Amino acid sequence: MKRSAVLLINVAHALDHMFLLIFATAVTRIAQDLGVGRWEDLMPYSVASFFLFGLGSIPAGRLGDLWGRRPMMLVFFAGMGVSALLVSVVQTPWQLAAALALLGLFAAIYHPVGIPMLLQSAVRPGLTIGINGMSGNLGIALAAVVTGFLVKHLGWRAAFALPGLVCLVLMVWFWKVVPPELQSPAKRQQAKSMPIQGSLAKLLLIMTLASTSGSLLFNFTTNSNYELLTERLAHITSDPALLGALLAAVYALASLMQLVVGHLLDRFPIKQMYLTLIGLQMLMFALAVHATGWWFYVLQFAFMAVIFGAIPFTDAMIVRYVDDAQRSRVSGMRLAVSLGASSLAVWLIGPVVKAAGFSSLLMTMTAITLVSFTVVSQLPSHAPAPSPSPAQP
Contact 134, 255 (CB under 8 A): yes
**In this model, does residue 87 exceed pLDDT 60?**
yes
Angle at 115 between CA 114 and CA 117, to 5 degrees: 65
The answer for residues whose C-beta is within 8 angstroms of residue 134's C-beta and 6 or more apart is 255, 256, 258, 259, 262
Q: Which domain holds residue 335?
A: 3-178+198-376
**In this model, does residue 191 exceed pLDDT 60?**
no
d(CA 9, CA 327) in angstroms, rounded, equals 17
Alpha helices in 235-378 (DSSP H): 240-265, 270-288, 293-310, 312-321, 324-356, 358-376
Q: Look at residue 206 in the predicted model and tell me its pLDDT.
A: 80
Share of the chain above pLDDT 70, in %: 86
d(CA 362, CA 142) in angstroms, rounded, equals 24
Angle at 386 between CA 191 and CA 302, to 5 degrees: 125
pTM of the model: 0.70
The predicted model gives 329-339 an average pLDDT of 71
103 domain residue, yes or no: yes
The predicted model gives 87-103 an average pLDDT of 93
Contact 336, 50 (CB under 8 A): no
**In this model, does residue 346 exceed pLDDT 70?**
no
Contact 335, 112 (CB under 8 A): yes
Amino acid found at 246? L
Specify the higher pLDDT residue, 351 or 101. 101
Contact 58, 151 (CB under 8 A): no
157 domain residue, yes or no: yes
**In this model, does residue 3 exceed pLDDT 70?**
yes
Q: What is the CATH number of the domain that holds 83?
A: 1.20.1250.20
Contact 388, 123 (CB under 8 A): no
12 domain residue, yes or no: yes
369 domain residue, yes or no: yes
189 domain residue, yes or no: no
73 domain residue, yes or no: yes
- What secondary structure letter does DSSP report for 275? H
First to last CA, the chain: 10
37 domain residue, yes or no: yes
Specify the higher pLDDT residue, 331 or 83. 83
**3-state secondary structure labels for all residues of 153-166:** HCCHHHHHHHHHHH
Specify the higher pLDDT residue, 109 or 314. 109
264 domain residue, yes or no: yes
Burial class (CB in 10 A: 0-12, 13-18, 19+), 241: middle
The answer for residues whose C-beta is within 8 angstroms of residue 348's C-beta and 6 or more apart is none
The predicted model gives 268-283 an average pLDDT of 87
Q: Look at residue 257 in the predicted model and tell me its pLDDT.
A: 87
Q: Per mean pLDDT, which range of 40-49, 242-251, 305-314, 379-388 is the poorest? A: 379-388
Looking at every residue in the chain, the average pLDDT score rounds to: 81
Share of the chain above pLDDT 90, in %: 24
Number of domains into which the chain is organized? 1
Q: Look at residue 185 in the predicted model and tell me its pLDDT.
A: 66
Q: Look at residue 235 in the predicted model and tell me its pLDDT.
A: 81
d(CA 251, CA 143) in angstroms, rounded, equals 10
